[in-house]
Structures are given as C-alpha cells and as structure tokens.
Structure 1
Amino acid sequence: MSRSTALPERQRQLMFTMAQVNKQWRRTLDKALAPLGLTQAMWLPLLHLERDSGAMRQKDLAHSLALDSSSVVRLIDGLQTQGWVERIDDTDRRVKRIQLTSAGRAQVEAVKKVVAQMRTEVMQEVPEELLDPMQAALNTMLDRMAALESEEPSDEN
C-alpha cells in the first residue's frame, strides 16, 4: 500500500494485518508445538504463569488470557491433570492461586525453545532497521488502547 493511500485506509489495513499476524503466529506455534502434545489452550497459560514468576491468582490468569473464569477453571483442571500446574490454598479461601510444578517448568522450557526457533524463522527476512520503529509504533498503540480502556464510559448514549 502506498503512502498516497488515504491515512484512514492505511490505518485500517495495518490493524487488519496485525490481527492476521497474531492469528497466524498462534497457528504456526500450534503446529510447531503439536509434537510436544500441546495446543494453544495448554501452552499459552503455561507461558503466562511462567512470566508471572510465582503463584498467580486464577482471576489474573483469566484476565491475561482474555477468558472468563469458568473457561480458565477447565483449562487449569486439564493442566493439573497433566501435572504441569498446582492450585495453592490462599489465606482467603475465595482466592484460587495457580503455580507451575517442576514438570510444568520443564514443559515451559521446551515450549520456549520451540518458540525461539520459530521466531528466528519468521523474523529472518524482516530488516533489523525496521524493528525499533515497529516496536515504537506498537507500544504507542498499546498505550493508547490502555488509556481508552481505563477511561470512564461517556454518558452520550
């Protein structure tokens, strides 16, 4: 798309492309992780738990995965059956915390290795000089979306 194309159209196309890249990245990872017996529903929560580096509240995991609590309960049940996560009692019995087990941490390391290989493969033709401007643009968009999310709803309706 050329620079002469109207700005709103270029912005629309960029947002569409970003959504497509996200979907395709997850499909690519699913295919690459299939030999480990993992689906996105399994590897994604494991990575979120590992990044949190400690016990994570079930509610926070649901939020980070953009899922409702009931879906996360079923997800955690499956991961617990595999021996990759454990539920920890909290002082507040209403709070459910989840953490990786040693088997779960080992699984995450296997996932991270595959993800790194795939990232290298996918990014090999992206010129290095584009990485910083792309990152800056994406961070600007994320910051704006976070600000919009935190704004009070308008009463204009």
Structure 2
Amino acid sequence: MPHPSSQPDRQRQLMFAMAQVNKQWRRTLDRALAPLGLTQALWLPLLHLERGQGAMRQKDLACSLALDSSSVVRLIDGLQAQGWVERLDDADRRVKRIRLTAAGLLQVEAVKQVVAGVRSEVMQDFPAELLDPVQAALSAMLDRMAALEAADDAAQPDS
C-alpha cells in the first residue's frame, strides 16, 4: 500500500502544478493569439492597461507586469508604434501615463474573445462544483503572499 504524501510534499506538488499551469496557459494563449500577430509581450500589457480602466502610470504597469522600468519603456514604444497605446503628458513630467487608444481597445476585445474560447475549451471537463473552492483557495494564497510581501516591505529600511 503506497504511503500517503506528507503535508509539505502535497503543498510542494500543488505549488509546482500551479506554476506549470501558469506557464502552459501562457504558451497556449500565445499559440492561439499568434494569428492576430500577438505574443505575450504584446497581449499581456494590453490586458493590464484595460483592467486599469483609464490611464495608468508607467511604473504601475511595470509593477503589474513584474518588469523593470527600462523594459516597460521599450514595451510601450512597441505598443505605441502599433497604434494601440498613447503616452499622456502630466503636470509632473517625471510621471509617465499610458492609455489604450481606440485601436488598442479593439485589439483587447479581439484578445478577450480568443481567451474566452481557449478558456472554455481548457475548462470544459473541470467539475463546476470545484470552481468556487479552488478559487477560494487560490485567493487565500494570494492574500497570504501579499501580506508576507507587505510585511517584508515594512521591515525594509527606507532608502
């Protein structure tokens, strides 16, 4: 009779599986969005900007994408060249704000349609009764990680 996995082993396996699901989800979306000429480097910031509901500060976009500022500058340059975003002037010239253009909003809608189709296909055999408990567990984990990050930030000396 096989020995049941210990709690730490099961936790490790769960975290590994979540990381693998995240990687595979992005690869799957990249393949599905390739006919639109989009890669993750293009569609992900568009979705983040759309969720921001209006102009977003460049540094907030960088934070939401977990990128450094210089990478985001190049990324925004590419999105702007496609006509999907525009930079806005601000009273404080050090603050850079970005917003989606009308063309960018159309691109986001196309992305969302493709994503919805892929999500439906991927989740078609997922038991409906597990959606809420899995969502609750993931939300609790995210909340705990945010609390740990905030505590760590609070413990850091100001620079």
Q: Compute the TM-score of the two structures, normalised by the length of structure 2.
A: 0.94
Residue 153 of structure 1: how far off its partner (Å): 3.6
Deviations 1:98-142 (A, max 9, x none): 000000000000000000000000000110011011001001100
- SS of structure 1 residue aligned to 2:54: coil
Query: What is the aligned partner in structure 2 of residue 96 from structure 1?
Result: 96
- CA–CA distance in structure 1, aligned partners of residues 57 and 10 of structure 2: 40
Query: Are 1:76 and 2:76 matched, yes or no?
Result: yes
Quick one: which amino acid aligns to residue 46 of structure 1? L
5 Å-filtered alignment, 1:1-157, equals 4-151=4-151, 152-153=154-155
* Matched residue count: 154
- CA–CA distance in structure 2, aligned partners of residues 89 and 7 of structure 1: 53
- SS of structure 2 residue aligned to 1:134: helix
- SS of structure 1 residue aligned to 2:112: helix
Q: 1:27 to 1:89 in 2, by over 3 A?
A: same
Q: CA RMSD in A?
A: 1.6
Residue 74 of structure 1: how far off its partner (Å): 0.2
Q: Compute the TM-score of the two structures, normalised by the length of structure 1.
A: 0.95
- CA–CA distance in structure 2, aligned partners of residues 115 and 132 of structure 1: 20
Residue 5 of structure 1: how far off its partner (Å): 1.1
Residue 3 of structure 1: how far off its partner (Å): 9.2
State the identity %.
77
Q: Which runs of 4+ in 1 moved over 6 A?
A: none
Quick one: which amino acid aligns to residue 132 of structure 2? D
- CA–CA distance in structure 2, aligned partners of residues 9 and 61 of structure 1: 35
Residue 63 of structure 1: how far off its partner (Å): 0.1
Unaligned runs of 5+ in 1: none
